Structure 1
Amino acid sequence: MEKLQPNSPYQKRPAQVINLEKGKIPPQATDLEEVVLGAMMIDKKGVDEVIDILNPDVFYKEAHQHIFEAINTLFVESQPVDLLTVSQQLKKMQKLELAGGEFYLIQLTQKVSSSAHIEFHARIILQKYIQRSLIKISNEIIEDSYDVTTDVFDLLDTAESKLYDITQGNIKRSSETAQDLVIQAKKKIEEIANKEGLSGIPSGFTELDKLTSGWQPSDLIIIAARPGMGKTALTLSMARNMAVDHNIPVAFFSCEMSSVQLITRLISSETGLSSEKLRTGNLEKHEWEQLNVKVKGLEKAPLFIDDTPSLSIFDLRAKARRLASQQGVKIIMIDYLQLMTAGGGKNGGNREQEISTISRNLKALAKELNVPVIALSQLSRAVETRGGSKRPLLSDLRESGAIEQDADIVSFIYRPEYYKIDEWDDDEHTPTAGQGEFIVAKHRNGGLDEIRLKFVGNLGKFENLDTFPFSNEIASSMNNAANDDTFKTPNFPSAEDAFGTNSNDDLPY
Structure 2
Amino acid sequence: MENARPNQHLRKNPGFGGTRSQSGNGWLDRLDTGLGKLPPQATDLEMAVLGALMIEKDALSAVIDILKPESFYKEAHQRIYSAILSLFQNSEPIDLLTVTQQLRKTGELEFVGGAGYVSELTIKVNSAANIEYHSRVISEHSLKRAMITMASTILRDAYEDTTDVFQLLDQTEQSLFRISESNIKKNYADMGTIVRQALNELEIKKNNKDGLTGIPSGFSALDRLTSGWQPTELVILAARPAMGKTAFVVSALRNAAVDFGQPVAIFSLEMSAVQLVNRLISAEAEIDSEKIKKGNLAPHEWTQLHHKIQRLTEAPIFIDDTPALSILELRAKCRRLKAQHDIQMVVIDYLQLMQGDNSKGSNREQEIASISRALKNLAKELNVPVIALSQLSRAVETRGGDKKPQLSDLRESGSIEQDADMVMFLYRPEYYNITQDEAGNSTAGIGEVIVAKNRSGSLDTIQLRFVNRFTKFCDLDTYFDPVPQGQGFPSNVTGLSSFDSGPVGGFPPVGPSGPGGMPPIPPTGGTLRSRANDLSNFGNADPNQQTPF
Q: TM-score range by the shorter chain?
A: 0.5 to 0.7
Residue 144 of structure 2 corresponds to which residue in structure 1?
139
1:325-376 deviations in Å (ceiling 9; x for gaps): 1111000000000011103x42641110000000000000000001000000
Residue 453 of structure 1 corresponds to which residue in structure 2?
464
User: Residues 260 and 403 from structure 1, CA distance in 2 versus in 1: closer, same or farther, beyond 3 angstroms?
Assistant: same
Structure 1 residue 165 displacement after superposition: 11
Following superposition of structure 1 onto structure 2, how do residues 72-471 of structure 1 map, counting pairs within 5 Å? 138-139=143-144, 141-142=146-147, 159-160=176-177, 163=180, 172-197=185-210, 198-343=212-357, 345-346=358-359, 348-425=361-438, 428-466=439-477
User: Residues 467 and 273 from structure 1, CA distance in 2 versus in 1: closer, same or farther, beyond 3 angstroms?
Assistant: closer
Structure 2 distance, partners of 1:302, 1:236, is 13
* Counterpart residue identity of residue 237, structure 2: I
User: Residues 306 and 256 from structure 1, CA distance in 2 versus in 1: closer, same or farther, beyond 3 angstroms?
Assistant: same
Structure 2 distance, partners of 1:385, 1:453, is 26
Using the TM superposition, name which of 177-186 and 454-463 deviates more: 177-186
For residue 369 of structure 2, give the secondary structure of its aligned residue in structure 1: helix
For residue 374 of structure 1, give the secondary structure of its aligned residue in structure 2: strand
Structure 1 distance, partners of 2:207, 2:255, is 24
1:101-131 deviations in Å (ceiling 9; x for gaps): xxxxxxxxxxxxxxxxxxxxxxxxxxxxxxx
Structure 1 residue 413 displacement after superposition: 0.3
- Runs of 4+ aligned residues of structure 1 deviating over 6 Å after TM superposition are 134-137, 143-146, 153-156
* Counterpart residue identity of residue 208, structure 2: K
Q: Which runs of 5+ in 1 are unaligned?
A: 1-131, 147-152, 469-509
* Counterpart residue identity of residue 446, structure 1: G
Structure 1 residue 141 displacement after superposition: 2.8
1:60-80 deviations in Å (ceiling 9; x for gaps): xxxxxxxxxxxxxxxxxxxxx
User: Residues 387 and 176 from structure 1, CA distance in 2 versus in 1: closer, same or farther, beyond 3 angstroms?
Assistant: same
1:405-456 deviations in Å (ceiling 9; x for gaps): 000000100001000011112xx21110010100000000100000000000
Structure 2 distance, partners of 1:302, 1:196, is 24
Structure 1 residue 164 displacement after superposition: 8.0
* Counterpart residue identity of residue 460, structure 2: D
Structure 1 distance, partners of 2:186, 2:458, is 33
Structure 1 distance, partners of 2:239, 2:186, is 40
Q: Would you say the 8 A contact 2:254–2:280 is kept in 1?
A: yes
Structure 1 distance, partners of 2:256, 2:142, is 37
Q: Would you say the 8 A contact 1:144–1:155 is kept in 2?
A: no
* Counterpart residue identity of residue 190, structure 1: E
* Counterpart residue identity of residue 377, structure 2: A
For residue 423 of structure 1, give the secondary structure of its aligned residue in structure 2: coil
Q: Would you say the 8 A contact 1:141–1:159 is kept in 2?
A: no
Structure 1 distance, partners of 2:361, 2:209, is 50
Structure 1 residue 183 displacement after superposition: 1.0
Structure 1 residue 467 displacement after superposition: 8.7
Structure 1 residue 144 displacement after superposition: 8.4
Structure 1 distance, partners of 2:447, 2:328, is 34
Structure 2 distance, partners of 1:388, 1:215, is 32
Structure 1 residue 323 displacement after superposition: 0.5
Structure 2 distance, partners of 1:334, 1:274, is 25
Q: Would you say the 8 A contact 1:204–1:242 is kept in 2?
A: yes
Q: Would you say the 8 A contact 1:437–1:453 is kept in 2?
A: yes
* Counterpart residue identity of residue 459, structure 1: F
Q: Which runs of 5+ in 2 are unaligned?
A: 1-136, 152-169, 480-549
For residue 333 of structure 2, give the secondary structure of its aligned residue in structure 1: helix
Residue 39 of structure 1 corresponds to which residue in structure 2?
none
For residue 246 of structure 2, give the secondary structure of its aligned residue in structure 1: helix
Structure having the higher helix fraction is 1
1:65-96 deviations in Å (ceiling 9; x for gaps): xxxxxxxxxxxxxxxxxxxxxxxxxxxxxxxx
Q: Would you say the 8 A contact 1:335–1:376 is kept in 2?
A: yes
Structure 2 distance, partners of 1:142, 1:249, is 33
The structure that has the greater radius of gyration is 1
The TM-score normalised by the length of structure 1 is 0.60
Structure 1 distance, partners of 2:217, 2:421, is 16
How many residues are treated as equivalent by the alignment? Answer: 325
For residue 368 of structure 2, give the secondary structure of its aligned residue in structure 1: helix
Structure 1 residue 159 displacement after superposition: 4.0
Q: Would you say the 8 A contact 2:234–2:420 is kept in 1?
A: yes
Structure 1 residue 462 displacement after superposition: 0.4
Structure 1 residue 195 displacement after superposition: 2.2
User: Residues 253 and 137 from structure 1, CA distance in 2 versus in 1: closer, same or farther, beyond 3 angstroms?
Assistant: farther
For residue 464 of structure 2, give the secondary structure of its aligned residue in structure 1: strand
Q: Would you say the 8 A contact 2:270–2:353 is kept in 1?
A: yes
Structure 1 residue 154 displacement after superposition: 12
Structure 1 distance, partners of 2:203, 2:327, is 36
For residue 368 of structure 1, give the secondary structure of its aligned residue in structure 2: helix
Structure 1 residue 196 displacement after superposition: 2.5
For residue 192 of structure 1, give the secondary structure of its aligned residue in structure 2: helix
1:158-198 deviations in Å (ceiling 9; x for gaps): 842665899xxxx7542211111111111111111122221
Structure 1 residue 258 displacement after superposition: 0.3
Following superposition of structure 1 onto structure 2, how do residues 1-80 of structure 1 map, counting pairs within 5 Å? none
Structure 1 distance, partners of 2:360, 2:367, is 7
For residue 267 of structure 2, give the secondary structure of its aligned residue in structure 1: strand
User: Residues 398 and 460 from structure 1, CA distance in 2 versus in 1: closer, same or farther, beyond 3 angstroms?
Assistant: same
* Counterpart residue identity of residue 432, structure 1: T
User: Residues 285 and 189 from structure 1, CA distance in 2 versus in 1: closer, same or farther, beyond 3 angstroms?
Assistant: same
User: Residues 351 and 163 from structure 1, CA distance in 2 versus in 1: closer, same or farther, beyond 3 angstroms?
Assistant: closer
For residue 462 of structure 2, give the secondary structure of its aligned residue in structure 1: strand
